[in-house]
Amino acid sequence: ISYPISSLILIALTVFCLTFMVIRSFRKQIPKGLKRLPGPRGYPLIGNVLELRSNPHLTLTQMSQTYGDVMQIQIGTRPVLVLSGEDFMGRPDLYSFHHIGDGQSLTFSTDSGEVWRARRNPNSSSTCLLEEHVSKEADYLVMKFLQLMKEEKRFDPYRYMVVSVANVICAMCFGKRYDHDDQELLSIVNLNNEFGEVAASGNPADFIPVLQYLPNRTMKIFKDLNKRFVSFLQKIVKEHSCSFDKDNIRDITDSLIRHCQEKKVDESANIQLSDQKIVNIVNDLFGAGFDTVTTALSWSLMYLVTYPEIQKKIQKELDQMIGRERKPRLSDRLMLPYTEAFILEMFRHSSFLPFTIPHWKLWKDPSTFNPERFLKAEGTEVNRAESEKVMTFGLGKRKCLGESIGRWEVFLFLTILLQQLEFSVCDGEKVDITPSLWTDHEAQEV
Ligand code: HEM
């Protein structure tokens, strides 16, 4: 069949106009009197996703140098404000966040009301136990690593560290320690890679809303794993409620139950913690508390084996200031400035939560791994002004709630391990420390 040329032109024009109208209807209109924020123009429907596909943290840093600290990009059909400046506020209302912790996570919600505020004041008596728990777990790791070296001559430290770190937060939240072969705990700690992929703004349905209604394998996995996580915690909170004794507060869950009961008695209080909120709070603490610290420890070991001379310097400092007779304690931090500087440099250089540290332009030779940049000229003290520029824990009112716990854990685990062990890569192997945003943990044997 042949059509006259005028009909073809008419069809083409109609298709063009319809497409244009559909695209325009997706675009948010800027109210009169306001200007569009600076930022790169995106393609219709997909916005800037193609530019952000690989290494979005680096692309955003480059873009912010062109467009400034406050810029607008478009992800799918959703306009996104990118702030590279000093003050960060609330969280966006993303579709995937509705599936975390029964949709009630305080970390992954826009909520910053009374319960969120109450949660940001953790019970300080529980944090005192941290030192004891980390010490116990680090001892276990030393024993396990020595045994593995004897039997197998090499091992991947990650899978042991993740359970030890999870055990510390379990001990604080639930007064419970799991065996390293415990299948229930292993299935929970291993959920985190899949979780990270969606939670860290990686889910297209957050930005192209129509995708919420289409089958989506990643989202299904995400919903399932959140359900498993919540039911694991519900079971523990229920056990705690049954055996609760207000005169014997065993852990954070118990102190939340007590808080909840006291508030119920006090009718005038407007902060009411329901049982479900307790599950949500421990969900947030547990979820945020093990993967972060394990990642920091993994990066630390990577740097130590890549720069053996730095490892030697830390061990020399430990030998001189603490010796081998007793274990390092939190109160030793000021005496170990080089070790502290190493930890700061690990946080800065690895940028393992890249969207909260877009300030690389502050550093001299940013790509060089150099703990000394955090020491004062004499080398005996950490330069606090410099150390404050490392913003791995976020900024503003939503900054990390577990910052002290995280820093203390990394310090204690590392010093106890390095006091007794020396790490190196297997003969003839090279460590690849190129950061990648989404990939799963790849085993690196030492
Ligand atoms: C090396 C260790 C850790 C790092 C690097 C880290 C980093 C972060 C970052 C970047 C945020 C987001 C901040 C923002 O949005 O501005 C965050 C939030 C949070 N972190 Fe951590 N974290 C660590 C350890 C921990 C630990 C051990 C806990 C719990 C005991 C914890 C609990 C939380 C919670 C509850 C939030 C959400 C705060 C809110 O939304 O109000 N974190 N963390």
Cα 403 → chain centroid: 11
Position with higher pLDDT, 422 vs 114: 422
In this structure, are 113 and 193 located in the same domain? yes
Nearest to 262 by CA among 244, 281, 279: 244
Residue 246: how many other CB atoms lie within 10 Å:
10
Domains identified in the chain, total number? 2
The whole-number average pLDDT for the span 137-147 is 96
In this structure, are 171 and 23 located in the same domain? no
Binding-site sequence positions for heme: 400
In this structure, are 26 and 175 located in the same domain? no
Long-range pairs for 79-85 at CB < 8 Å and ≥24 separation?
79/28, 80/207, 81/37, 82/39, 84/60, 84/358, 84/359
The confidence score (pLDDT) of residue 150 equals 95
The confidence score (pLDDT) of residue 416 equals 97
pLDDT in tens, 346-380: 999 987 765 544 445 778 888 899 999 999 988 88
Query: How far does residue 243's CA lie from ligand 1's centre (Å)?
Result: 30
What's the chain's average pLDDT? Answer: 81
The whole-number average pLDDT for the span 183-195 is 76
Helix (H) or strand (E) holding 102: none
Name the residue with the closest Cα to ligand 1, atom 21.
400
Position with higher pLDDT, 133 vs 262: 133
In this structure, are 247 and 210 located in the same domain? yes
Q: Which two tokens stand for residue 311?
A: 């490892």
Name the residue with the closest Cα to ligand 1, atom 6.
393
Domain stop point among 58, 85, 112: 85
In this structure, are 80 and 106 located in the same domain? no
- Asked whether residue 310 is assigned to any structural domain, the reply reads yes
Residue 379: how many other CB atoms lie within 10 Å:
10
Query: How far does residue 325's CA lie from ligand 1's centre (Å)?
Result: 34
- Asked whether residue 147 is assigned to any structural domain, the reply reads yes
Cα 352 → chain centroid: 8
Query: How far does residue 400's CA lie from ligand 1's centre (Å)?
Result: 3
Name the residue with the closest Cα to ligand 1, atom 41.
398
Q: Is 355 in the pocket of ligand 1 (CB under 6 A)?
A: no
In this structure, are 48 and 148 located in the same domain? no
Domain stop point among 54, 85, 116: 85
The whole-number average pLDDT for the span 135-141 is 96
Q: Is 226 in the pocket of ligand 1 (CB under 6 A)?
A: no
- pLDDT score of 90 more than 60: no
- Asked whether residue 382 is assigned to any structural domain, the reply reads yes
| Angle (deg, nearest 10), helices 158-174 and 252-265 | 30
Range of the domain at 144: 97-420
In this structure, are 156 and 58 located in the same domain? no
The whole-number average pLDDT for the span 7-34 is 75
In this structure, are 102 and 12 located in the same domain? no
In this structure, are 173 and 289 located in the same domain? yes
Atom of ligand 1 nearest to the CA of 106: 40
The whole-number average pLDDT for the span 424-443 is 70
Evaluate whether 199 touches 100 at the Cβ level (below 8 Å): yes
Question: Which CATH number is 355's domain given?
Answer: 1.10.630.10
- Asked whether residue 427 is assigned to any structural domain, the reply reads no
- Asked whether residue 285 is assigned to any structural domain, the reply reads yes
- pLDDT score of 384 more than 80: yes
Q: Is 205 in the pocket of ligand 1 (CB under 6 A)?
A: no
Residue 31: how many other CB atoms lie within 10 Å:
6
Domain stop point among 36, 61, 85: 85
In this structure, are 127 and 60 located in the same domain? no
| Angle (deg, nearest 10), helices 275-306 and 252-265 | 150
Residue 239: how many other CB atoms lie within 10 Å:
13
Pocket test residue of 57, 129, 400 for ligand 1, highest count of atoms within 8 A of CB: 400
Evaluate whether 94 touches 206 at the Cβ level (below 8 Å): yes
Q: Which two tokens stand for residue 220?
A: 């299904």
In this structure, are 70 and 165 located in the same domain? no
First-residue to last-residue Cα distance in the chain? 71
Count Cα neighbours of 245 within 13 Å in the Cβ-side half-sphere.
4
- Asked whether residue 436 is assigned to any structural domain, the reply reads no
- Asked whether residue 434 is assigned to any structural domain, the reply reads no
The whole-number average pLDDT for the span 339-343 is 98
Q: What is the pTM of this model?
A: 0.74
In this structure, are 118 and 37 located in the same domain? no
Look up tokens 């004499």; give the residue: 378
- pLDDT score of 312 more than 80: yes
Query: How far does residue 403's CA lie from ligand 1's centre (Å)?
Result: 6
Q: Is 399 in the pocket of ligand 1 (CB under 6 A)?
A: yes
Query: How far does residue 407's CA lie from ligand 1's centre (Å)?
Result: 11
CA distance 199 to 98: 11
The whole-number average pLDDT for the span 242-251 is 89
Fill in the amino acid letter for 141. L
The whole-number average pLDDT for the span 228-248 is 89
Residue 142: which pLDDT band, with cuts at 50, 70 and 90? very high
- Asked whether residue 439 is assigned to any structural domain, the reply reads no
pLDDT in tens, 151-179: 999 999 998 999 999 999 999 888 888 99
Atom of ligand 1 nearest to the CA of 116: 41
